[in-house]
Amino acid sequence: MKFDRCKPYNNLPSLPPTIDLESRTILKKCVGAHRALASLKGAGNLIPNQAILINAIPLQEAKASSEIENVVTTRDKLYQASILPGAATDPQTKEVLRYRTALRRGYDLLKTQSISTSLLRGVCEVLLDHEVQYRTAPGTQIENKSTGEVVYTPPEGGEILREKLDRLENFIHLRDEIPLDPLVRLALIHYQFEAVHPFEDGNGRTGRILNILYLVEQGLLDIPVLYLSRYIIDHKSDYYRLLQAVTEEQEWEAWVQFMLSAVEETSAGTYRRILAIRKLLDETTALCRENLPRQIYSRELVEMIFVQPYSKISFVVDAGIAQRQTAAEYLQQLEKIGVLESRKVGREKVFIHPALLKLLSGQ
């Protein structure tokens, strides 16, 4: 019988699929993806101030992952809003910023608890900025955004959903019982989460946050710095097509390969970006040491302008680098030697770090 896209998929099977998931291609891709991920994990230590990574890279991830759902903003608006939370900001930019907050919330929770459906519900609540319940009413469907045609109807009924989520949660924590590579599991888990589609909205983004949290929980990353949605947005139609092919044809092989490529490519890309940040940090340190007045130069000051590509006077004060009266002078000196560029936003003066901005905005 042909799969009916308009009928709730209440027969969605539990994980793991009953097919061989260890083809030669998959095993080979696992090796490459693990190697890239391990380099990325190690690269975290190259940056002395972890706030630099934890701020900058998840913001890129937030932007790409939200864009997959047509929640679109510009880098400029995003950086500006991230340092001027009180300023008038459009709703889409706010939503992207909340994605980063949601990712962080999940990461913080992981320090005291393991991944669970209630943790993910909490993440989704931060993302959407309102209370979120598991779906109980029928009517949620996934449509093809360009044609409006229904492509998938997730399972319906509170009890069915609960059961599928419990099983997914169990699978997330099985280890030795099912000898599958953690990256293969990641692919299975992401598909399953999307296929269950537990919430009315926010499933795509919560499922992509889950990817990063899972890597952290598995010890494959220390901090949530993988820019995985970069690959997904670059291959968006494959992403949708392959999710659908799992449902309709049990085509797991191509889906797992897709996710392994995503991990490998984006780990390598994020790694290169971290190396580039490190290099810029060294060059900027040298430049500042040479050109700033002696009483102004400090390592902390240079690191501070790497935490975000946009800075403001209170950052200098909050970092304990200077008092309010002199903090402005510090940033002006950085502007004078060509490291920062100032711009007025309302009554606030914002200092942009163009070299860092360029580096973060690159592919």
Ligand X SMILES: Nc1ncnc2c1ncn2[C@@H]1O[C@H](COP(=O)(O)OP(=O)(O)O)[C@@H](O)[C@H]1O
Residues that bind ligand X (CB under 6 A): 68-69, 142, 151-152, 194-195, 201-205, 207, 240, 243-244, 247
Positive/negative CA dihedral, 239, 108, 265, 183: negative
Looking at the Cβ atoms of 202 and 224, the one nearer to ligand X is 202
CB-nearer residue toward ligand X: 244 or 333: 244
Distance, CA of 300 to CA of 321 (rounded, Å)? 7
The smaller minimum CB distance to ligand X, of residues 169 and 201, is found at 201
Cβ contacts of residue 119 below 8 Å, gap of 6+?
Answer: 106, 109, 110, 113, 213
Q: What is the 3-state secondary structure (H, E, C) of 20-85?
A: CCCCHHHHHHHHHHHHHHHHHHHHHHHCCCHHHHHHHHHHHHHHHHHHHCCCCCCHHHHHHHHHCC
Q: Is the CB of residue 41 less than 8 Å from the CB of residue 221?
A: yes
Nearest to ligand X of 73, 203 (CB atom)? 203
Applying CB under 5 A, which part among 137-145, 196-204, 226-234, 241-249 lies near Mg ion? 196-204
Least distance in Å: CB of 192 to ligand X?
Answer: 9
Q: Is 201 in the site for Mg ion (CB under 5 A)?
A: yes
Q: CB of residue 106 vs Mg ion: minimum separation in angstroms?
A: 18
Nearer to Mg ion, 201 or 251 (CB): 201
Q: Which of ligand X, Mg ion, none interacts with 189 (beta carbon under 5 to 8 A by kind)?
A: none
Q: Which whole-number Å values give the CA distances from 337 to 10, 136, 332, 363, in the listed order?
A: 64, 60, 9, 28
Which of ligand X, Mg ion, none interacts with 244 (beta carbon under 5 to 8 A by kind)? ligand X
The one of ligand X, Mg ion, none whose footprint includes residue 195, by CB under 5 to 8 A per kind, is ligand X
Q: Which helix (H) or strand (E) holds 352?
A: strand 348-352
If the CB atoms of residues 106 and 207 are measured against ligand X, the closer one turns out to be 207
Q: Is 200 in the site for Mg ion (CB under 5 A)?
A: no
Cis peptide upstream of residue 16 (ω within 30 degrees of 0): yes
Nearest distance, CB of residue 154 and ligand X, angstroms: 7
234 binds, among ligand X, Mg ion, none (CB under 5 to 8 A by kind): none
State yes or no: residue 67 binds Mg ion (CB under 5 A). Answer: no
Which of the listed partners (Mg ion, ligand X, none) does 29 bind, with a CB threshold of 5 to 8 Å by partner kind? none
Q: How far is CA 144 from the centre of its chain?
A: 24
Give me the least distance between CB of 157 and ligand X, in Å please: 18
Instruction: Compute the distance between CA of residue 104 and CA of residue 209 in angstroms, rounded to an integer.
Output: 9
| Rounded CA separation 97/5 (Å) | 34
> Nearest residue to ligand X, using CB?
204
Residues that bind Mg ion (CB under 5 A): 69, 201
